[in-house]
Amino acid sequence: MAKPLFITNTYHPVGQGLFVSGHLSLISHSGHHDAAKRRFSWVFDCGATSSQQPVRTEINRLKSQISDRIGMVCVSHFDKDHISGIELLLREVKTDVIVLPYMPLAQRIAILVEEDADGWYADFLIDPAAYLLGIANDDQTRLIYIAGGDGGAEPPPDFEPPDEPNLEPDRTQPDGDNDDESLSLDFPTGQPVSDADGPGLAAQGLSARAAIVTHDSPFNLGSRWEFVFYNEARPEKSIDPLQNAVVAILNTHRNSDGKYDSKPLLDALKNEYVKTFDKGGKNANRISLVMYSGPLKRASLSWNSFDYHDLYLHLTFLHHHLFFRFPRSWQYRFFGSMLEGTLLTGDIFFKKPTELQAAKDHFSVKRWKRVQVLQVPHHGSDENWHVGAASDFSHRVSVYSAKLGSVHHPGNMVKTDLASYGPTFVSEASGLVVTGMI
Half-sphere exposure (CA, 13 Å, Cβ side) for 193? 31
3-state DSSP call for residue 141?
coil
User: Closest Cα partner for 11 from 362, 412, 438, 303?
Assistant: 303
Helix locations, 28-79, DSSP H: 53-65
Q: Topology of domain 5-437, per CATH?
A: Metallo-beta-lactamase; Chain A (3.60.15)
Q: How far is CA 262 from the centre of its chain?
A: 29
Q: Average pLDDT of 358-384? A: 94
Q: What is the Cα–Cα distance from 223 to 14, expressed in whole angstroms?
A: 33
Task: Answer with the residue of higher pLDDT: 151 or 332.
Answer: 151
Amino acid 85: pLDDT: 95
Least confident residue range of 146-155, 229-238, 353-362, 400-409:
229-238
Tens of pLDDT, residue by residue over 117-134, are: 888 898 899 999 999 999
Amino acid 278: pLDDT: 55
Average pLDDT of every residue of the chain: 81
Q: What is the Cα–Cα distance from 218 to 262, expressed in whole angstroms?
A: 39
Write the CB contacts of 240 (distance below 8 Å, at least 6 apart in sequence): none
Amino acid 4: pLDDT: 72
Least confident residue range of 42-46, 145-149, 306-310, 337-341:
306-310
Q: Is the pLDDT of residue 43 over 70?
A: yes
Residue 145 pairs in a beta bridge with 100, 212
Tens of pLDDT, residue by residue over 49-105, are: 878 999 999 999 999 888 779 999 999 999 989 999 999 999 999 999 999 999 888
User: Closest Cα partner for 185 from 155, 142, 219?
Assistant: 219
Tens of pLDDT, residue by residue over 277-318, are: 654 444 444 689 999 999 887 644 444 444 333 223 333 333
Q: Is the pLDDT of residue 180 over 80?
A: no
pTM for the model: 0.86
Share of the chain above pLDDT 90, in %: 45
Task: Answer with the residue of higher pLDDT: 116 or 240.
Answer: 116
Instruction: Using pLDDT thresholds of 50, 70 and 90, give the confidence band for residue 334.
Output: very low
Q: What is the Cα–Cα distance from 1 to 151, expressed in whole angstroms?
A: 35
Please give the helix or strand (H or E) that residue 128 lies within, else none: helix 128-136
Amino acid 154: pLDDT: 86
Q: What is the Cα–Cα distance from 71 to 270, expressed in whole angstroms?
A: 38
Q: What is the Cα–Cα distance from 75 to 99, expressed in whole angstroms?
A: 6
Q: Is the pLDDT of residue 235 over 80?
A: no
